[in-house]
Homo-oligomer: A and B are copies of this chain.
Amino acid sequence: MMKRLQLFVAAFAILACNPLLASASDPSPLQDFCVAINDTKNGEFILLHGFTILTNLTLFHAVFVNGKFCKDPKLANAEDFFYSRLNIPRNTSNPIGSTVTPINVAQISRMNTFSICLVRIDYAPYGGLNPPHMHPRATEILVVLEGTLYVDFVTSNTDICFITKVLNPGDVFVFPIGLIHFQFNIGNTKAVAFAGLNSQNPGVITIANVIFGSNPPINPDVLTKAFQLDKNIVTYLQSKFE
């Protein structure tokens, strides 16, 4: 019994650690909506993600699909399409000085099969940075609500082109799918932006974290050669991002 419960906890943790979810080429809906099932409620034993099950054999196995299983459409209600408090400023007291608040299929279960999500980004004054990263499954359109952001994206090899712009409130910018981009607060006040992404789960790959902070770490010889860095610097960086 304990083992079964642990498995549930593990399954839930997986969902929680996928903060951004959606794709530029997500499949289209095949019905009006398909509200995702993604939690256990009320202590009741709900079958998370289509597991099957069963019982005095103490057999247990979880299955997943590409995307999410859906809730019985008869049971859908307005709360399934709703999320609140995106107007509340977020705390940006962290080393990079920014906080991303995603509203995707994990927050609004209805977004399942709808190929879209939304994020709020808060940037600390004087250098709050949403560091170089990319979304493997979505293009992003960003609008600045407050502050002054220096934004960029870099095209793919070989003729690497760096496109950059300073944005003020009311300015809009587009970051294409799969290309590395960042936003940097160059003003002396906090900054806030909203962004739409065309996937229910865009994914996010923060370059520094993925390169230097994976677990287990990437072989330092590879990074030494790829980045032409001294091996001591590589191992120092790996210790910081762990």
Contact A86 B178 (CB under 8 A): no
Instruction: Among B73, B155, B172, B197, point to the contact of A84 (Cβ < 8 A).
Output: B172
In the complex where A57-B45, A237-B228 touch, is A172 in contact with B212 (Cβ < 8 A)?
A: no
- State A110–B172 Cα separation when bound (angstroms): 12
In the complex where A25-B24, A131-B225 touch, is A85 in contact with B176 (Cβ < 8 A)?
A: no
In the complex where A21-B31, A25-B25, A178-B137 touch, is A212 in contact with B227 (Cβ < 8 A)?
A: yes
- State A57–B58 Cα separation when bound (angstroms): 12
The answer, yes or no, to whether A54 is at the interface (CB within 8 Å) is yes
Pick the most buried of A28, A132, A212: most chain B CB atoms within 10 A of its CB.
A28
Say what secondary structure dominates the interface of chain A: loop
> Which B-chain residue is minimally distant from A19 (CB atoms)?
B158
- State A62–B46 Cα separation when bound (angstroms): 10
Contact A170 B81 (CB under 8 A): no
A81 → chain B closest CB, angstroms: 5
In the complex where A53-B54, A73-B64, A210-B160 touch, is A182 in contact with B226 (Cβ < 8 A)?
A: yes
The answer, yes or no, to whether A5 is at the interface (CB within 8 Å) is no
In the complex where A156-B203, A198-B198 touch, is A171 in contact with B78 (Cβ < 8 A)?
A: no
Contact B26 A28 (CB under 8 A): yes
Nearest 5 CB-CB pairings of A with B: A136-B178, A196-B196, A87-B170, A25-B25, A131-B226
